Amino acid sequence: MKKISVFLILALLLSVQTPAQAGLFKDQITKIEQRQIDKKKNAEIKALFGEMIKQANKHCLTGLQSVYSKDFTNSDGFNYDTYMKMVEDTWKTYPDITYSTQIDNIEFTDNYARVYVTETAVSAPKEQIGDFETVGELYSVTKCIYHLQKHGEIWLIESEDVLEETSTLKYGGARYVNVELDTPKQIGAGKYYTTTLKINVPQGVDAVASISREKIVYPQTKTEDNFRRISNDNILERVFMSNQENVNEYAIASVGLAQAQAQGENINIHMRGLAFIMTRVNVIPENKFVNIEDKKVEKNEQSK
């Protein structure tokens, strides 16, 4: 009987928590609860992006608008109304365009979240080139950060930072040719930068190309193309100075592939393909409110 009572007393003693143990137990419960909250937020945010892609692929503007805040603005300075108008214009230009989104990372606090995303868009537009109609290939990849805020029980997209963006559009034989446009992803305002076009020109084909740049504004402006023949190294370069107007830019290359065929005493030129490639250059605006004191002047004044 005594052995049983000793056992019960020992069990009772082990079940009583010291203050330190109680604090540790409470911390564990808090961590478990926080993990559950974080899991719920992750699911809500993933559901939001799932809805965004669903509505975008349906080309339903009303449905797409439901995931955006009316106060939305992006890194190009486009507000909610302008952004939605640009989406509509895209759908009209590319009626078969489809989107996919890969969520790379989610960071959040209580009511705010940052979602790192890689977005892809594809389309097969039809165009009349010369005397024949051809089907093209549009492929666009964008890396961006969406900034979200919780409004009551729902999350809405408040703003967007586009980090990188490259789009290619190819027609005819250009669909089978590798085209690259190398530019800086980010540069200060009023700085020189080099844009380099590399194209794998097929044997027996001549290529002409132009490189231009356009500020990211709405409506989009169009610069004149000055085409040059691609040299034997298959490279064309051009130097630009970034704008000082607090506007991001696109570097754009246009490529034409042609083949010459002798027909008696005449030479016929046949267009074999067209390609366009566009990459984003984010321009860091100059901060005109930075005052750097001249320490040398300060020392000279102190020595007097």
Q: For residue 193, count other CB atoms closer than 10 A to its CB.
A: 18
Residues 6+ apart with CB under 8 A from 151: 69
Angstrom distance (rounded) from CA 100 to CA 57 = 9
Model confidence band, residue 226 (pLDDT cutoffs 50, 70, 90): confident
Percent of the chain with pLDDT over 90: 62
Q: Give Cα 75 distance to the centre of its chain.
A: 10
**Which residue reads 């109680």 in tokens?**
22
Predicted local confidence at residue 1, as pLDDT: 47
Model confidence band, residue 37 (pLDDT cutoffs 50, 70, 90): low
Single out the residue of 269, 203, 201, 271 nearest to residue 236, CA to CA: 201
Q: What's the rounded mean pLDDT across residues 209-231?
A: 87
Q: Give Cα 149 distance to the centre of its chain.
A: 20
**Which of helix, strand or coil describes residue 108?**
strand
Whether 193 and 183 have beta carbons less than 8 Å apart is answered as yes
Predicted local confidence at residue 299, as pLDDT: 53
Predicted local confidence at residue 191, as pLDDT: 96
What is the amino acid identity at position 211? I
**Which of helix, strand or coil describes residue 85?**
helix
Distances (CA, A) of 19 to 25, 31, 89: 10, 19, 65
Average pLDDT of every residue of the chain: 86
Does residue 41 register a pLDDT over 70? yes
Q: What's the rounded mean pLDDT across residues 168-182?
A: 93
State how beta strands 112-123 and 132-151 pair. antiparallel
Where is pLDDT greater, at 173 or 62?
62
Percent of the chain with pLDDT over 70: 80
Model confidence band, residue 199 (pLDDT cutoffs 50, 70, 90): very high
Does residue 193 register a pLDDT over 60? yes
Taking the model in full, what pTM does it have?
Answer: 0.82
Where is pLDDT greater, at 134 or 172?
172
Does residue 58 register a pLDDT over 60? yes
Does residue 16 register a pLDDT over 90? no
Does residue 33 register a pLDDT over 60? no
| DSSP 8-state class, residue 223 | P
pLDDT tens, position by position, 96-155: 999 999 999 999 888 999 999 999 999 999 877 666 678 899 999 999 999 999 999 999
Predicted local confidence at residue 152, as pLDDT: 92
Helix and strand totals (H; E) in the chain: 5, 14
**Which of helix, strand or coil describes residue 225?**
coil
Model confidence band, residue 301 (pLDDT cutoffs 50, 70, 90): low
Where is pLDDT greater, at 242 or 132?
242
Does residue 270 register a pLDDT over 90? no
